[in-house]
Every structure is written in C-alpha cells, then in structure tokens.
C-alpha cells in the first residue's frame, strides 16, 4: 500500500480564482473540440471531392454548417468556450470557401 505524504507546510494559495481556472480549463477543451470538428469537416470535404457522391456532399455540407455554428461569437458566460476571434474569422472564411466548393461539386454531380 502506498504511503501518503503529509506536508507540514500550509497549502500555497493560487493567484487565480476557481472561476478563472474553470474558464481556462473549459477553453482548452472547447477550442480542441472545435478544431476536431473543423478537421472532420475538412476530411469529409476531401472525401466528397474524391467520390463525387450525393451522400458525401450532404455530409460535408452538414459538417460545414455545424462548424459555422461553432464559430458564432458566444454570449456570456460562455465567451471562453470559443475560438479566439482572429482564428474564428479565418475559419469563417474557410467555411465560406467550403460552401462554394460543395456547391460546385453538387453542380458537377447533377
């Protein structure tokens, strides 16, 4: 059985509040999750370009719409759970390009 280490020193006070910690903690995971959705959208778009099937195009369009929803500015108290605005602006442009490419592919398949 492992021995517990007991310190005789008082616990150090953190300079950050619990709310700050939870905010940055949530932010790290939220940004990672949004980036995962972006990667999924990009992969579906690649597959749609290769296969030219209506099902893949529908999947890519749905994923793109979802990513666009994730990029909307968050309201209080959820501001920390979104991409930094400079990154969000760039990704919104990628969503617009993806939407255009999906439309081109749909015309090609039709």
Query: Mean pLDDT in each 10-residue stretch from start to end of the chain (110 residues)?
Result: 43 42 64 95 96 95 97 86 92 97 92
Amino acid 25: pLDDT: 53
Amino acid 77: pLDDT: 85
Amino acid 63: pLDDT: 98
What is the residue range of 104's domain?
33-109
User: What sign for the dihedral angle of Cα 58, 40, 69, 96?
Assistant: negative
Amino acid 58: pLDDT: 97
DSSP H or E run through 60: helix 54-70
Kindly state whether residue 95 falls inside one of the protein's structural domains: yes
Kindly state whether residue 93 falls inside one of the protein's structural domains: yes
| Coil vs helix vs strand at 44 | helix
CB 36 within 8 A of CB 85: no
Kindly state whether residue 58 falls inside one of the protein's structural domains: yes
Q: What is the 3-state secondary structure (H, E, C) of 67-79?
A: HHHHCCCCCCCCH
């Amino acid at each position: 059985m492992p021995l517990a280490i007991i310190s005789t020193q008082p616990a150090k006070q953190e300079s950050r509040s619990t709310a700050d910690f939870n905010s940055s903690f949530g932010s790290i995971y939220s940004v990672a999750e949004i980036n995962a959705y972006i990667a999924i959208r990009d992969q579906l778009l690649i597959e749609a370009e290769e296969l030219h099937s209506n099902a893949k195009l529908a999947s890519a369009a749905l994923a793109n719409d979802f990513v666009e929803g994730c990029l909307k500015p968050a309201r209080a108290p959820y501001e920390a759970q979104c991409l930094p605005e400079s990154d969000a602006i760039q990704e919104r442009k990628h969503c617009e390009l993806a939407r255009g490419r999906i439309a081109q592919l749909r015309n090609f398949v039709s």
